[in-house]
Each structure stands twice: as structure tokens, then as C-alpha cells.
Chain A
Amino acid sequence: MMARKFGWLTIVALMALALTAGMAAAQTTLNGAGATFPYPVYAQWAAAYAKQTGVKLNYQAIGSGGGIAQIKAKTVDFGASDAPLTKKELDEIGLIQWPMIMGGVVPVLNVPGMAPGQIKLTPSLLADMFLGKVTKWNDPQVAKANPGVRLPNLAITIVHRSDGSGTTWIFTNYLDKVSPAWHAKVGTDKAVAWPAGVGGKGNQGVAAYVQRIKGSLGYVEYAYCLQNKMTFAKLQNSAGNFVDPTSETFQAAAANADWKNAPGFYLVLTDQPGAKSWPITGASFILFYKDQANMAKAKAVLSFWAWCYAHGQKMAEDLDYVPMPQAVVDLVEASWSSQLHAGGQAVWK
């Protein structure tokens, strides 16, 4: 009796499943995969867009490296990466890329008694701490950058990402630019051979470790710093000013970026000029094939991103991201018109 009941249940469940699958197939679904850092805002945009147009986005936040691998394997309509590909890499695969959204990476610390922004760090000091050269919070170099602050005799424990990550790419790219020693010893990548410290999985893992370990210093995406109410450090930018991480300073860094003269939109927003610029700012990119097989699908994907550029700014700002300036959006849409084709015809006019 029991078995028969279950048999019927199974059949009904299967039929329901088949029905919903059929219905889903009737709608347009855009498939993408990649970076985890922009995932919250992409999800928000997709939900709003689906409500208006019925077009759904299926975005798998599997990481930037995964996004690149999936678009190479052509299992998705578009890929997403926090680390831009160089013009040469793009041409080899036949891709174009464009910046979709920007955000900041923030050094966070756990030193008892310190308020957010109370500790100031110079670029070389930050690099030396992550290199394991400066090992105490009351090191003379830290004291020199922080006159009047009572620094404890506490060991610095570095917390970094244990998983490969676009956030790490942006952060190490910055250290690579500002510290010759970092450049010689470590370099830039989504995962590196860290000279010191412990690794937490994901932004959340780093945040948890930093909150756990007294004397720790780590780096997270700005949104995680805000959500977890973490103690961040002020950073000295290339103009010599100590700045707080805020939407305003991220925007300042973005405003000074020269997208026009960046072939294939290969531009890293770390260490940008400008009196107010936050030095560790980064953009997240979309990867798309130049030569599209299906005109309708290609148009649907571009329409979605164009809608996000036009209507998604408020949503992005609410989630502490920085939307792309209009001038950059115009450049991106011009590149769609000139470079994307399907069956010999331009996709975007």
C-alpha cells in the first residue's frame, strides 16, 4: 500500500516537474557565470528586469576563473570576471569585454580600542605588513604614520583569501604597483603564495577570521566591511592624502580612469590619480563572444546589460557598488556596435 502511494506521488511529481520545465523553456533565459563580487547587484538587476520583461537571468557565481573557463567552453552566454583579460588574451579567444560595475577593496583590522578609520596606512606600510616584514602594531613605522595614536604591543596576523578570487587579484595588483618588494617576491594573481598569515574562504571567511583574531589585518570587498561593521584603515592615495573607503572616494578613482585609451577596456583602477581617489578600486567585467551564433539571444543579452546601465544605478548604489559613469557607458555601447556580429550582421545598432 505504502509503495503504491509513493509510486503515484512520484508520477505526479515528475509530471509537475516536466510541466514547469516546459514553461521555463518557453521564456528567454540568459545564462552567465563568473565573479562572485558583483553577484548581489546582478541578482537584483535580474529580478527587476524579469519583472518588467519576463526575461530571466541564470547567473552562477562560481568565481572569475570559473567564468573565464565557462565562456571558453561556450557553456554560457556570457562570462564575468573581476580581473580583466588583456587585449591579446581577448583576441586569442575572440572575446570582447566591458566594465559593468565598480567597487572597492578595503583593508580591515581588529585592534582593540581602534575606531574605523583611526589607523592610517601608507602603501609601503600595507605591503610590508602583508609581506610579513612589519610584524607588530606598535612598530616604529606604524607609529610614524599614526602620530598621537596609542598603538598596542600586539602581533599582526595577516588574513587573506584561501580561495582564488578576483578580490585578491585587485588587492595584489595594488600591492604590486606600490611595492617593488611585493612585485619581486609575490606578484599579482587570483591566488598567490602569501608570505604570511592565514586564509579564510570567501569574503565572509576573511571577515570572520579578522573579527576572531586579535591583531589581525585582512582585506574584503567594501560591502562586507559595511555589513559586518568592521574597522577599516585609512589608506594614503597616490596624491598623498589619507582617504576613507566610501562611495565618493571609489567614484573619484573611477572618474579619473582613462577608459578611452584602454584597448579592450583593459584598465585596472588601482592606484588611480586624484586627490580623493580610493587607491584599491576595481571594476568587474563581462566577457562576450564577438561572433555570436544566435542573433536573437545576443540581442537579448545586450538589451539586459543596456537596461542595467540605464536603470540600475540606484540599485547598485543601494548595495554600495559604484555604477559606471555615462561617458564609459557610451564607449561600451559604441564597442558593441562596432565589434559584435551574428551571421555577418551587426548585433547592436
Chain B
Amino acid sequence: MMRRRSHTRAQALAETTFHGTALTCAVLVLVSMTAIFVELVRNSRLSLAKFGWGFLTSAAWNPVTSDFGAASSIFGTLVSTAIALLIAVPLSLAIALFLVEMAHPRIARPVGSAIELLAAIPSIIYGMWGLFVLAPYMADHVQPLLQKFFGKLPLFAGPPMGIGMLSAGLVLALMVLPFITAVVRDIFALVPSVMKEAGYGMGATTWEVTRKVTLRHGMRGVLGGVFLGLGRAIGETMAVTFVIGNDHRIAASLFASGNTISSTLANEFTEASQPLYLSALVELGLILFVITFLIQIAAQLWLKHISHRLGTDK
């Protein structure tokens, strides 16, 4: 009896320590988040004071006259990320479904590992591949073809250079694909087989079970995977810098060059010697911070909405 009690006391102590440590770690995340935000605001105050809200809508970027605006960078960030997700999400879903529902384990395992391996490739390699392999191919084959069929659209106007918004989006798509696929595959694998079997037992086809059981059950996780990919795409720096063309301009054409917030930072931070220039760059960082934050909130709200509708709210 005595023994048992002392054991309990030791357990209680361990429990308290564990609880305290875990809490500290969790709080540390919040503290560093806040610290980053405060520091970003503090270091961008010159630019905040000079340009105000106009910084968000101005497409100017002129280091000579010290006139800066974030519009072209915000535009490029959102467009390149959107292209990436438009391509990567359907592909990832298809791959994950194939791996979980259709593929023989002998195929599923090596294919799965290969996709996970893609995630481990450093982004600079994607950038170099984009510049030396994808861009020439785009310039010589894909872009002329697109122009042949849709040349009238402003979306595909301009000389086919191979580098630009479209190529950046493609490279990003390839980079986020393994992340989304890995998450979605695990989610699909977690769908209880009894549910699927019940579906099949009622005479449903694979497609029907996939759509009405697997996808529905895993919706939360799927969205989680998509947002993970979005997070990577929106902040990606080196790979984008290689292929986007780095031009401070808002163009209607996907063939034209552009820039993203992180590519601008990567390009210009080292040589920004005037205080206002540096401050404007830090403010770009602040905007990226806020954009990711807003997307997180939107994702949470949307998830809530969706789980209500699907009735999987727990």
C-alpha cells in the first residue's frame, strides 16, 4: 500500500513537470509569433509612415526615387500560388486515391516512397530544374502550343520566353504535390474499411464509394493537406526566384514575368542600403505574414462551415 502511494506521488510530480514543459513549449510558439509580428511592424515603421495604406495598392517599385508599393508582389504571390494549387490539388487527390483504393500494394509502396522523396528535394534544385529544363521546354513547346489555340486571350499573350508566372506556378505545383499527396493518402487510409465495405455491399461502384464515403469522411484532412501545400507555395523563395523573371509589374499574361513577396526579398535584401528601401522590404515581409494569417483564419472558418454541412462535426 505504502509503495503504491509513493509511486503515485512520483507520478504526480512527473505529471506536473510534463504539463509545465508542454505548456511552456506551447506558449513559446505564441510568444515568438507575437515577437516576429512586433519586430516586423517596428522595422517597417519608416515605410508605414511614408506610404500608409497606399503601399498595398501602388505598383511602383523604384529604388532610385525611393517610391515603393507592394501591389505587384502581392499579385504575383497570389497568382503563382493559385496556379500551383489549381494544378496540384486535383493531381494529388487522384494520386492518393489511386494509391489507397486501386493500386496493388506492390505498386503503391514504391510510388508512395517516390512521392515522399520528391518532398525531400531542396527547393533550389527545383529552381535550377525549372530554369534549365522546364523553361526551355515551355518556351519551345508548351507556350507556342497554348498560343496557337488560345493566342487571342490576353492570358497567353506576349513572347514565349519560358520563364514567367506560368512556369513559376508549375514548379510550385510540383513542389507542393508531394505534401498534399502524403497527407491525403494517410487520411484516405484512415477511413474505416467497414464504411467502405458497407458502400460496396450496397452495390456502389469504386467511384461512388470514393466520392460519397472516402472523400466525405476525409474532407477535413484533405483541406488540411491543401492548406499545408498552400503554406509552402506562398512562401517559397528560391525556386520561384529562378523562374518567375523578377520584374515589378502586373501583367495580364501568364507568360509575362512577375515577382512574389519572397522572391523580391531574396533578390533585394542584401543591397538595400537606404533605410526606406530596407523598411519597404520588411513591410513586404509583414504583408506576407498577415496574408498567411488571414488564410489560416479563412481555412478554420471554412472547415467549420463544411463540417456542419457534412454532419461530421465532432
Identify the A interface with B (CB < 8 A). Answer: 62-66, 68-69, 155, 157, 162-165, 186-194, 197-201, 205, 208-209, 212-213, 215
Contact = CB atoms under 8 A, between A and B. Distances in A.
A333 B131 CA distance: 46
A62 B270 contact: yes
B247 interface: yes
A134 to B, nearest CB: 15
Interface in B49-98: 60-65
A64 B271 CA distance: 7
A188, A193, A205: which has the most chain B beta carbons within 10 Å?
Answer: A193
B161 interface: yes
B33 to A, nearest CB: 28
A32 to B, nearest CB: 15
B246 interface: yes
B248 interface: yes
A335 B268 CA distance: 34
Given A62-B270, A193-B62, A198-B247, 17 more contacts: A65-B272, A65-B273, A162-B241, A163-B271, A164-B271, A165-B271, A186-B64, A189-B63, A191-B271, A193-B61, A198-B246, A199-B247, A199-B267, A208-B131, A209-B163, A212-B163, A213-B139
Interface in B254-277: 257, 259, 263, 266-268, 270-273
B245 A198 contact: yes
B131 A190 contact: no
Given A63-B271, A162-B241, A201 B246 contact: yes
A63, A186, A199: which has the most chain B beta carbons within 10 Å?
Answer: A199
Nearest to A215: B159
A163 B64 contact: no
B285 interface: no
Interface in B220-279: 241-242, 245-248, 257, 259, 263, 266-268, 270-273
Contacts of B267: 162-164, 199, 201
Interface of B: 60-65, 131-132, 135-136, 139, 159, 161-164, 241-242, 245-248, 257, 259, 263, 266-268, 270-273
A66 B271 contact: yes
B270 A65 contact: yes
23 contacts: A62-B270, A157-B159, A162-B241, A162-B246, A163-B267, A163-B270, A164-B63, A164-B267, A164-B271, A186-B64, A188-B64, A190-B63, A191-B268, A193-B64, A193-B248, A197-B247, A197-B257, A198-B163, A198-B246, A198-B247, A198-B257, A199-B267, A213-B163
A212 B162 contact: yes
A190 B273 CA distance: 10
Contacts, number: 92
Nearest to B264: A162
B139 to A, nearest CB: 7
B159 A155 contact: yes
Contact of A187 (B64, B164, B248): B64
Q: Which 10 A-B pairs have the closest CB atoms?
A: A164-B271, A162-B246, A199-B246, A65-B271, A193-B62, A198-B245, A65-B273, A187-B64, A198-B257, A63-B270
Nearest to A191: B63
Contacts of A163: 267-268, 270-271
Given A62-B270, A63-B271, A192 B63 contact: yes
Contacts of A188: 64
A193 to B, nearest CB: 4
Contacts of A69: 273
A164 B242 contact: no
A164 B61 contact: no
A199 B248 CA distance: 9
Nearest to B238: A201
Nearest to A208: B131
A137 to B, nearest CB: 12
Contacts of A205: 242
Contacts of B248: 193
A37 B62 CA distance: 23
A157 B245 CA distance: 12
A201 B241 contact: yes
Contact of A213 (B60, B62, B162, B268): B162
Contact of B257 (A189, A199, A201, A215): A199
A176 to B, nearest CB: 10
A164 B246 CA distance: 12
A68 B163 CA distance: 33
Contact of B64 (A157, A192, A197, A208): A192
Contacts of B247: 162, 194, 197-199
Given A162-B267, A199-B267, A201-B241, A157 B62 contact: no
A328 B246 CA distance: 39
A335 B63 CA distance: 33
Contacts of A193: 60-65, 248
A66 B63 contact: no
B245 A208 contact: no
A212 B257 CA distance: 14
A200 B163 CA distance: 10
A155 B255 CA distance: 15
Contacts of A198: 161, 163-164, 245-247, 257
A289 to B, nearest CB: 18
Contacts of B245: 198-199
A157 B163 CA distance: 12
A256 to B, nearest CB: 28
A178 B104 CA distance: 70
A138 to B, nearest CB: 15
B284 to A, nearest CB: 14
Given A69-B273, A194-B247, A164 B60 contact: no
A192 B136 CA distance: 28
